Amino acid sequence: MGQTAEQSTGAGTYLDEQSQKALVDRLKRIEGHVRGIQRMVQNRDWADEILLQVAAVKGALNRFAATLLEDELSTCLACADDPLELEERTERLTRIMATMLKQS
């Protein structure tokens, strides 16, 4: 289906180990935050307090997406010597960015 972390371009690896670990760690923090929101709902906390936490999670997911996009763009630029790969990656990025902007 898609490119895996083990695959690499001619110029560099998509999601090197350090980037991958940072993204996974960020997702784990977001996951914990979502569990906290679930507890707040179960405890019948005030809606304004819950919604504030929901906004924080949305912000964290946006930062996650921006970091992932930054890594992809860096890798994409590194493969600029392969016009076909560059074109394919650019098209994929353009499609996903359009989808993300529609949903925001």
Instruction: Check residue 5 and give its pLDDT.
Output: 42
Q: How many CB atoms lie within 10 A of CB 15?
A: 21
Structure confidence at residue 96 (pLDDT) = 85
What are the chain's domains?
17-103 (1.20.58.1000)
Q: Exposed, middle or buried: residue 13 (CB in 10 Å: 0-12, 13-18, 19+)? A: middle
Cα–chain-centroid distance for residue 101? 14
Residue type, 60: A
Residues above pLDDT 90, as percent of the chain: 50
pTM, 2 dp: 0.78
Burial class (CB in 10 A: 0-12, 13-18, 19+), 35: exposed
* Rounded CA Rg of the chain: 17
DSSP bridge partners of 49: none
